[in-house]
């Protein structure tokens, strides 16, 4: 009897040990998958049926804008355009610093300047991704973000580009023998032809330092339209991300579109610099207001803005100068009819205010994800590459006293018994100092960025690159803060790329001033608005998708940032403007197509073949839809709220 008990106990121990081993193995093997388990949670219940996709409600939310379908990308030269030659006026090297969008626009302008001055461009140095910032030794500045070989090959007919200066000239550069210019983003053509070009011809080498998000005025004379097309070729074709970024970005898109689902990309635009520039401190609370005001004071001191430090943020908000908050965006999407389980991708490496400001939007749309939800830690780490460990910031470490020091202090503390010493100051622990705002708790001046902060800034370029890929490919894009006037911004860059690549894609261009007035009219019933408020929102946002929104965007942003609205210079149309006039369509559409060149015949034939193929697919889908409707008894109104369902939105209406 006892032997049986012993064997049973031994068997139990063996099984327990085996269970523990299996548990540890599964925990380790699944650790990397935890980052995007949210996708597997909502894939099943978001799988749209064919009937859902063909319903009128679904098409109203996701289909392309039909009136803009004739617009197609066409950045090729259309006049005499000589090929770049090696025998030219000399070399231009440049150092670029700033955020993702400023770096990208600066590179575009730099290529245009090199063409203008007939100079050889040396691959520019991106200061945020130099090896001194602690990035992986596998990369060197420009190649940390972009594909160097693709950049050189794609622009071979436009500008001669080399990876470095010849050795002799490089030595002279180290001795600082060449003149350096610091042009602003609004620098004129005359500045380069009268001041820079003579120095270039004389010294054969000049340097540029670009910190303003560009180095050439956005609006150029009509005689220089080929330079605008060159800008398009650089931004939309030559500037390709390195293969690892491209692959991971496409993988994120695939995960968002799993099971045939569409997704919406949303960029909040909540960046500290933009908020400080426009004086939007009071729409935040606590430490965030203080941080914005500190940055605004710096901008005033640097001459970036010439206004007072304290301004009425709520008045700026009503004027449309402050971003739409995530809660407001959620209410707008809900008014448009997007169901609560819509997949929304949150783009942008910086969301000022953190996850707290996203709580209302996440409550309305639970399938709100970002790159950390779609990618594992291993995938993101592989993108960054191997990096050397950094020494912890000494300010974050508590001082540790040796036993000898403690004994010496005890011996020198006087006779016994002693009175109790005053309580020491509360130490600042590591977890309280982590984060870029920790200095506010104990200092009046923002400290210089540590090496860890600089490395994190380099990582942000990679995160912005991933978000850029996902945002451009999205079925729908909604900007929280575009065309803010403070320089190139991420949302405007994405909107311009989408307009160039597929003008008919659904890109909202909200008028923040008009929407602020709408929100003020129903401030007491935001979550249960009256039907007329819902109709007003839908009417405004639907107009912003089409020609009316494009014309307003052109008037507001094109003179400040060309890449935000690269038509008609970089596009063509498969229909003639005269045909639109005779068709009796609205005047806005005529104005939009008025300056468009007609697409070449080969392109029109290709587009016609694609349209015919789409029509065949559509007919096949309609046939399948009829059979599915008969077999399943599908009712499209069950999937997505329609206009008739708005009667239930306001219990007091």
Spatial contact of 274 and 486, defined as CB atoms under 8 Å apart? yes
* Cβ atoms within 10 Å, residue 332: 21
- The whole-angstrom separation of Cα 568 and Cα 229 is 10
Does 473 have pLDDT greater than 60? Answer: yes
Instruction: Assess whether the previous peptide bond of 417 is cis (omega < 30° from 0).
Output: yes
pLDDT given at position 586: 64
Query: What average pLDDT does the segment 115-133 reach?
Result: 90
- The whole-angstrom separation of Cα 337 and Cα 112 is 44
pLDDT given at position 608: 65
Instruction: Assess whether the previous peptide bond of 568 is cis (omega < 30° from 0).
Output: yes
Query: What average pLDDT does the segment 493-501 reach?
Result: 94
pLDDT given at position 538: 94
- The whole-angstrom separation of Cα 387 and Cα 451 is 12
- Which residues contact residue 541 at a Cβ distance below 8 angstroms, ignoring those fewer than 6 apart? 332, 336, 508, 510
The gap from C-alpha 21 to its chain's centroid, in whole angstroms, comes to 44
Q: At what angle do helices 377-384 and 451-473 cross, to 10 degrees?
A: 110
Query: What average pLDDT does the segment 324-350 reach?
Result: 93
CA distances from 274 to 164, 576, 602 (A): 35, 41, 44
In degrees and rounded to multiples of 5, residue 418 shows phi and psi of -105, 150
What residues form DSSP beta bridges with 234? none
Q: What order do you get walking across the sheet with 71-73 strand by strand?
A: 71-73, 571-573, 597-598
* Cβ atoms within 10 Å, residue 4: 8
pLDDT given at position 511: 93
Spatial contact of 569 and 232, defined as CB atoms under 8 Å apart? yes
Spatial contact of 218 and 559, defined as CB atoms under 8 Å apart? yes
List own/partner pairs for 359-362 with CB under 8 A and 24 or more apart: 360/326, 360/327, 360/330, 361/326, 361/327, 361/329, 361/330
User: How big is the chain, counted in residues?
Assistant: 653
* Cβ atoms within 10 Å, residue 607: 15
Spatial contact of 62 and 333, defined as CB atoms under 8 Å apart? no
Q: At what angle do helices 531-545 and 326-336 cross, to 10 degrees?
A: 90
- Which residues contact residue 510 at a Cβ distance below 8 angstroms, ignoring those fewer than 6 apart? 324, 332, 478, 479, 540, 541, 544
Does 633 have pLDDT greater than 60? Answer: no
The answer to which of 38-42, 435-439, 514-518, 632-636 has the lowest mean pLDDT is: 632-636
Nearest partner of 512 among 552, 554, 472, 471, judged by Cα = 552
Break the chain into its structural domains and give their ranges.
Answer: 34-63+250-268+323-387+456-567+600-653, 91-240, 271-322
Spatial contact of 488 and 278, defined as CB atoms under 8 Å apart? no
The string of pLDDT tens digits covering residues 204-249 is: 999 999 998 899 999 899 889 999 999 999 999 999 999 999 999 9
Does 289 have pLDDT greater than 50? Answer: yes
Who wins on pLDDT, 80 or 532? 532
* Cβ atoms within 10 Å, residue 10: 10
Does 642 have pLDDT greater than 50? Answer: no
Cα torsion 437, 440, 446, 447: sign:
negative
Percent of the chain topping pLDDT 90: 44
- The whole-angstrom separation of Cα 206 and Cα 173 is 9
Model-level pTM? 0.82
């Amino acid at each position: 009897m006892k032997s049986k008990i012993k064997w049973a106990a031994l068997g139990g121990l063996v099984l327990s040990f085996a269970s523990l081993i299996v548990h540890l193995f599964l925990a380790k093997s699944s650790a990397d998958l935890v980052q995007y388990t949210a996708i597997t949670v909502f894939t099943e219940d978001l799988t749209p049926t064919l009937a859902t996709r063909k319903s009128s409600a679904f098409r109203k939310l996701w289909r392309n804008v039909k009136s803009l379908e004739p617009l197609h990308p066409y950045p090729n030269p259309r006049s005499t355009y000589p090929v770049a030659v090696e025998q030219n006026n000399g070399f231009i090297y440049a150092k670029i610093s700033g955020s993702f969008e400023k770096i990208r626009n600066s590179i575009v302008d730099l290529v245009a300047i090199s063409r203008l001055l007939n100079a050889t461009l040396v691959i520019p140095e991106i200061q945020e991704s130099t090896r001194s910032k602690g990035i992986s030794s596998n990369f060197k500045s420009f190649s940390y973000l972009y594909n160097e070989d693709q950049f050189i090959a794609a622009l071979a007919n436009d500008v001669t580009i080399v990876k470095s200066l010849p050795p002799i000239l490089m030595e002279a550069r180290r001795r600082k023998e060449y003149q350096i210019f610091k042009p602003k983003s609004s620098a004129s053509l005359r500045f380069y032809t009268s001041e820079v070009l003579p120095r270039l011809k004389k010294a054969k080498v000049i340097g540029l330092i670009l910190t303003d998000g560009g180095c050439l005025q956005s609006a150029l004379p009509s005689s220089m339209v080929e330079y605008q097309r060159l800008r398009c070729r650089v931004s939309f074709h030559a500037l390709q991300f390195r293969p690892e970024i491209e692959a991971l970005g496409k993988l994120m898109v695939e995960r968002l579109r799993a099971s045939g689902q569409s997704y919406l990309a949303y960029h909040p635009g909540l960046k500290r610099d933009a908020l400080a520039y426009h004086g939007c401190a009071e729409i935040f609370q606590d430490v965030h207001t203080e941080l914005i005001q500190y940055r605004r004071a710096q901008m005033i001191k640097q001459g970036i803005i010439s206004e007072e430090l304290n301004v009425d943020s709520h008045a700026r908000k009503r004027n449309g100068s402050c971003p739409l908050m995530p809660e407001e965006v959620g209410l707008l999407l809900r008014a448009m009819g997007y169901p609560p389980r819509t997949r929304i991708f949150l783009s942008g490496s910086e969301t000022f205010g953190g996850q707290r400001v996203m709580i209302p939007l996440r409550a309305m749309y639970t399938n709100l994800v970002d790159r950390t939800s779609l990618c594992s830690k291993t995938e993101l780490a592989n993108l960054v590459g191997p990096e050397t460990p950094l020494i912890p910031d000494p300010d974050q470490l508590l001082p540790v006293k040796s036993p000898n020091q403690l004994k010496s202090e005890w011996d020198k503390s006087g006779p016994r018994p002693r009175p109790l010493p005053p309580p020491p100051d509360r130490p600042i622990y590591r977890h309280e100092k982590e984060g870029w705002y920790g200095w506010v708790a104990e200092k009046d001046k923002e400290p210089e960025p540590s090496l860890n902060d600089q490395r994190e800034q380099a990582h942000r370029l990679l995160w912005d690159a991933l978000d850029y890929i996902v945002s451009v490919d999205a079925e729908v894009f909604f900007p929280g803060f575009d065309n803010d006037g403070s320089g190139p911004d991420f949302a405007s860059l994405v909107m311009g790329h989408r307009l160039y690549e597929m003008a008919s894609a659904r890109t909202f261009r909200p008028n923040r001033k008009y929407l602020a007035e709408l929100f003020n009219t129903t401030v007491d019933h935001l979550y249960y608005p009256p039907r007329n408020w819902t109709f007003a929102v839908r009417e405004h946002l639907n107009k912003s998708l089409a020609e009316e929104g494009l014309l307003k965007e052109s008037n507001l942003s094109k003179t400040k940032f060309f890449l935000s609205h690269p038509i008609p210079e970089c596009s063509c149309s498969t229909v003639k403007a005269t045909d639109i006039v005779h068709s009796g369509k609205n005047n806005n559409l005529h104005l939009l197509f008025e300056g468009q060149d007609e697409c070449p015949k080969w392109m029109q034939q290709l587009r016609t073949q694609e349209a015919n193929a789409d029509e065949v697919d559509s007919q096949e889908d309609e046939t399948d839809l009829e059979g599915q409707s008969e077999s399943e008894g599908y009712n499209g109104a069950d999937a997505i709220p329609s206009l008739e369902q708005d009667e239930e939105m306001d219990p007091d209406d």
